[in-house]
Structure 1
Amino acid sequence: MADYIKFVDVTKCDGCRACMVACKNWNDLPAEPEDFSGSIQSHTKVTANTWNVITYDEHETTSGNFEWLFRHQSCLHCVEAACEKACPEDAISHTKFGSVVINADKCVGCGYCVQNCTFDVVELATYKDKHGKEYRKAQKCDLCTSRLEEGLQPACVTACHTDCLIYDEKGKVLSEAEKRLAKIKERFPNANIYNPQGIKGTTTVYLLAEKPSVYGLPENPKVPLSQVVWKDYAQPLGKAMFGVTTMAVVGSVIAHAIKKDSGDHKGGQDHE
């Protein structure tokens, strides 16, 4: 299969929220009413049951004017995904489409993926078993992998009426993105294509009207070294030498170090 990506041109978004509705419908996600906060934004951020949110930011430009900056906020499906690295149960993986998915059968609800997600999109949903006992599972956007497997486009893309969202061949999309970037530079001099290479790129790529930090995105995210060591070296070696049970104990110790390292890393990122 060709290398495809989802492209989000925020300068074409009109904040209609059709993508949010389509996502809820396709994934059968429950409604999450929120108290009115005085903002036109429906939800503060994505949650375990609201996998994409349109953010609204009134931004003052360098010329002294105000612009409404919209962003389709959802999982970016990092090529090097911190959530996958942090998971001690191998419950998170990449598909052939580049989407990062969570295996609910393997997830134990530990929350390490939540604590370490580069973009703060993974959350835990609470369920009850037949005895009424509560348990948790990590949930987030999966890029509509079930639709991709059937040759369909992500639900959010099909619902977008402004072509803000596109799912197509990577080379073609990025080529058109560069042309679009050149065209909007006069109006948005800080416009940029957001595809951070510190995490080897993302399967959801943005064309932003302003610097990433204006949208609450890290300027140059990277997966902490401790996560890479844990997932790629310590875990495979440990399982081979000590067995799965022992590695669960070792994993909890290392995961605690990962959490601290991630917190320090995120604290050092620039936000506005």
Structure 2
Amino acid sequence: MNEPQHYRLGFVGIGLIGGSLALALKNAGFASSITAWDHDPHALEAALELGVIDTAAKDITSLMEAVDIAVLATPTLACESLILEMLNNPGATLCVTDVASVKGDLYRGVLDAAPAGAALYVPGHPIAGSERSGVRAADAALFAQHRVILTPGVDTDPLALGLVQKLWTAAGATVQCMDVNEHDSVLAATSHLPHVLAYALVDALDQSPIRDDIFRFAAGGFRDFTRIASSDPVMWRDISLANKDALLAALDDFCEHLGALRTSIAERDGASLERTFRTAKTARDEFAKDLAMRDHP
């Protein structure tokens, strides 16, 4: 039997990421229909009004009965209970995936509580986002030329994995598979730690006795460095707690480097400071070149 070219898609959670993916897949012709359920009825009303989805489901069970591919796009700490509900009520669904930023505990929870359904579950994480939130911020181009990491297990159904790879490719992303623990360590360093640092810097300056002058005279560098501190605090609270061990390891390593820089400044060790700055500049310049090649292949 030929594999269909258009799929009935279901979303549990329809905020920025779910809404953006729904729009991207609509535009690509990947979706024949899009159904969503969200605990917030206002989010569903907005998604219908904007044309992001076609139908609002009354509950997760009815959604799973009506779709081929189900995507969980909710805050990280809410994921485990919802993914288990989805897997325990598979309905007609061929595969289930998610967009959570932390994979390890979630995947292990699925293996423990729903081993039969785990074959249909393909953990996923798009490396894309925005400081904005909610379905009204949805952007069909959000994933274009961005990477998506999948962390399938040894028992993952190859058909399910193939469908999720196809879904993200249709959304314009580049798909890469990775070990679940490696994913959490890499993301702790490259995403979770920078968000924690941005929040910490803005919070510290906000409590300074010269706060008003600091924010009055802050310019482009401060704006660029702290942009992500405008992200959803609840989402980043959940991510920080869900990836606690890997994030603490990244924080400890950063604090050690920051302490070394403090010592160099205190001791007026200009040579050490310059070595650190030059090494960092070289690494950042190489990253920028790589990023430019990704954006303009």
TM-score by length of 2: 0.29
Larger radius of gyration: 2
Higher relative contact order (CA 8 A, sep 6+): 1
- Bigger fraction of residues in helix: 2
- Bigger fraction of residues in strand: 1
